[in-house]
Amino acid sequence: MTLPRGRARRRSIAALASAAAVLGGLALAAGPSAEAQVTSVGDDAGSRERAFAAASAEFGVPQPVLEAVSYAQTRWDFNPGHSTSGGYGPMHLVDAGLGSPADAKGLGAPAAPAAAPVADTLSRAATLTGIDEEALRTDELANIRGGAALLAAEQRSLGLPLGSSTAPGAWYAAVAESSGSAQEDVAAAFADDTFAVIATGASRQTVDGKDVSLLPAQVSPDEAQLARLGLLKKANSAPIDCPPGLDCEWIPAPYEKLGSDPGDYGNHDLASRPASPKITNIVIHNTEASYETTLKLVTDPTYVSWQYSLRSSDGHIAQHLEPQDVGWHAGNWYVNSHSIGLEHEGFAATGAQWFSEPMYRSSARLVKYLARKYDIPLDMQHIFGHDQIPGVTAANVAGMHWDPGPYWNWERYFQLLGAPLNSHAADGAVDLVRIVPGFDDNIQPLMSCTKTGVVCEPQGTNFVYLHQSPSQSAPYINDIALRPNGAPATTRVSDIGARAQAGLTFAVAERQGDWTAIWFNGVKGWFHNPASDPTAIPVKGSYVVPKAGLAKVPVYGRAYPEASAYPAGIPVQALAPLQYAFTPGQRYAVGDLTVPTNYYRAVTYSLDTPNDHVDVVGQDRYYQISLGHRFAFVRAADVEVMTAK
């Protein structure tokens, strides 16, 4: 749970102490006395539900409100030590007093620009309850009591009715306050999300094995209460490109000349998007750095750039580039020129400790807005991870990034986008499957997350492994770009060579019993897909096969124009095929039949340089295909498009 930043009516420490004293009396009026307070609820699957009930009674907060706020913040999960700048426990109590971890990217970087501070709700909860901060971080009941105390203190300060039996709708302002934002629209959006949970209900088993259910109930939120909070109206400056309901600030990436050479500049390029080039994609990254270091880097003119950074603790967003300009973030210039990059605070190898529900929710709200604005389909062929982007040449493939990694919950993310990955299943379809293994219960073996050679902590993942034959004991398939010697892929956390990722659609190669084989980087990859508990769903769509007479179809990492499209003075960009073999007998699912064919030339600082900042558009046509973990492009002239059965 997060509370206000920069609000005019901020509580002083003295006011908090007063509130703590008031809550001492509140416990007597609304529930058990201090002597009778529940101090333990056990450690079985039902303990979290009992903890919500106990805290509700003790602090006079309706249990549906308490559970819904927790669900909106963490989905009731408990990851002790979430992150040094993130939240703890089911109530997402934020400890803003801890320093950021050391990370190599921060060495030598300039000072970070001032960003909106993180609300320190952990210390507030400790002040209100008298509970030790370590207990608030690590103890289930203590954490939920702390969250309940914060809600009750706000409700009382607003002069609104207390009591576990009060109507949930009477808590609208207190819930809005718990968003942590001083912006009225952001606080209201969080409250609306929370009350939507009450209206629709929710039920799940948490990552630590606790069963929690919230039955759907009619609720009438008293939205007029919002005026009591005295929040700020949205006052975004002109460059901000964010929708209502998001806490966004402008921290610009610098466009600076670095030397006498016109090609020596940073850290992005000017353009006229979406007129030219068109914006067609959104790339999901994680920062591999703390939020503070991330801001240092993106404001360093000698580094690279992206459009948005999102903070783990509360989903706060910093925007760095205007929409028309091109960031340097994807490791593929063609993708850069057509994409918007979102960097999420955290480290891919320990993603579960960083990828918080507030950050997922902010990111999804931003992506939905951008997708509507730029007409980008809500699917994983257009909204994808950095790890799905191909190298521009065969030599580049092995060095491409693998973030956001195996712990980014794509299924949850697309649910928040309103485009669930398990939708559009086509019963009876046989040619194409979409990988949908679940997340929390899909625990795949990984190693080297925190120490080389050490097995990673078992937790939910977003992929299934592909084997060379239909057996769990069979070796994993090989990615020839990563291991030219033909050795199989490994379980190393960064090794994507044999991972079929959730949300991706593949062409079926063969079936045997409970096993399905798909075409993947030029080979058959088998995954366990039993009818009783499928890890993939049948879907409709199209696939491509080589044109008759071709012994091999080249696959590319970019869709550049034919040589004749380049005007005088602009060097022709060579079509450089990747090392994968797309031969007769193979087929690959089509992700996009309308890929732009262009090369945006921007290699100098000045917009006035002749033959620079020019978008070269060709007539040749390409299709995006699901080649493997990374997508690729094929020329339309080289393939036949087939409607999948």
> Tell me: the pLDDT tens digits for 46-71?
999 999 999 999 999 999 999 999 99
What integer is the mean pLDDT of 204-228?
96
- How would you class 474 by CB atoms within 10 Å of its CB: exposed for 0-12, middle for 13-18, buried for 19 or more? middle
Q: Which of 118-122, 294-298, 560-564 has the lowest mean pLDDT?
A: 118-122
> Tell me: the pLDDT tens digits for 265-275?
999 999 999 99
pLDDT of residue 602 exceeding 50? yes
Cis status of the peptide bond prior to 277, with omega within 30 of 0? yes
What would the CATH number be for the domain defined by 248-545?
Answer: 3.40.80.10
Domain 13-229 has CATH 3.30.70: no
What integer is the mean pLDDT of 596-624?
96
The Cα–Cα gap between 1 and 93 comes to 5
pLDDT of residue 239 exceeding 60? yes
Cis status of the peptide bond prior to 267, with omega within 30 of 0? yes
Local confidence band at 248 (pLDDT 50, 70, 90 cut-offs): very high
Local confidence band at 85 (pLDDT 50, 70, 90 cut-offs): low
> Tell me: the pLDDT tens digits for 486-519?
999 999 999 999 999 999 999 999 999 999 999 9
pLDDT at residue 7, as a whole number: 32
Token duo for residue 633: 């492009």
| 192: helix, strand or coil | helix
Please state whether the predicted TM-score (pTM) of the whole model is above 0.85: yes
pLDDT at residue 321, as a whole number: 97
pLDDT at residue 110, as a whole number: 59
The alpha carbons of the chain give a radius of gyration, in whole angstroms, of 26
> Tell me: the pLDDT tens digits for 136-161?
999 999 999 999 999 999 999 999 99
Token duo for residue 253: 């990436």
The Cα–Cα gap between 345 and 240 comes to 20
The Cα–Cα gap between 215 and 392 comes to 51
pLDDT at residue 245, as a whole number: 94
As a whole-number percent, the residues of the chain with pLDDT over 70 amount to 91
pLDDT at residue 35, as a whole number: 39
pLDDT of residue 373 exceeding 80? yes
- How would you class 238 by CB atoms within 10 Å of its CB: exposed for 0-12, middle for 13-18, buried for 19 or more? exposed
Local confidence band at 84 (pLDDT 50, 70, 90 cut-offs): low
Q: 629 and 639 in contact (C-beta within 8 Å)? A: no
Token duo for residue 478: 């090989």
| 526 phi/psi in degrees, rounded to 5 | -100, 135
Q: Which of 6-20, 319-333, 530-544, 607-621 has the lowest mean pLDDT?
A: 6-20
> Tell me: the pLDDT tens digits for 396-414?
999 999 999 999 999 999 9
pLDDT at residue 607, as a whole number: 87
Local confidence band at 424 (pLDDT 50, 70, 90 cut-offs): confident
Q: What is the average pLDDT value for the chain, to the nearest integer?
A: 91
Token duo for residue 10: 């901020």
The Cα–Cα gap between 404 and 129 comes to 38
The Cα–Cα gap between 630 and 520 comes to 10
Strand partners for 450: none
Of residues 326, 479, 475, the one with CA closest to residue 402: 479
Q: Report which of residues 272 and 424 the model is more confident about.
A: 272
Q: 627 and 384 in contact (C-beta within 8 Å)? A: no
Q: Do domains 13-229 and 248-545 have the same CATH topology?
A: no
pLDDT of residue 589 exceeding 60? yes
Token duo for residue 641: 């498009």
Task: Give me the residue label for tokens 């992206």.
Answer: 306
pLDDT of residue 23 exceeding 70? no
Indicate the domain borders of the chain: 13-229, 248-545
pLDDT at residue 5, as a whole number: 30
* DSSP per residue, 52-83: HHHHHHHHT--HHHHHHHHHHHHTT---TT--
Q: 456 and 465 in contact (C-beta within 8 Å)? A: no
pLDDT of residue 210 exceeding 50? yes
Strand partners for 577: 556
pLDDT of residue 319 exceeding 70? yes
What integer is the mean pLDDT of 384-393?
98
Own/partner pairs, 192-200, CB within 8 angstroms, 24+ separation: 192/221, 193/72, 193/361, 194/65, 194/68, 194/69, 194/71, 194/72, 195/68, 195/168, 195/169, 195/219, 195/221, 197/67, 197/68, 197/71, 197/72, 198/64, 198/65, 198/68, 198/168
The Cα–Cα gap between 37 and 32 comes to 6
pLDDT at residue 95, as a whole number: 86
Whole-number Cα distances in Å, 329 to 185, 315, 400: 30, 20, 11
What integer is the mean pLDDT of 452-460?
95
Local confidence band at 118 (pLDDT 50, 70, 90 cut-offs): confident
Cα angle vertex 172, ends 51, 367, to 5°?
A: 90
| 141: helix, strand or coil | helix
pLDDT of residue 28 exceeding 50? no
Q: 639 and 547 in contact (C-beta within 8 Å)? A: yes
pLDDT at residue 3, as a whole number: 32
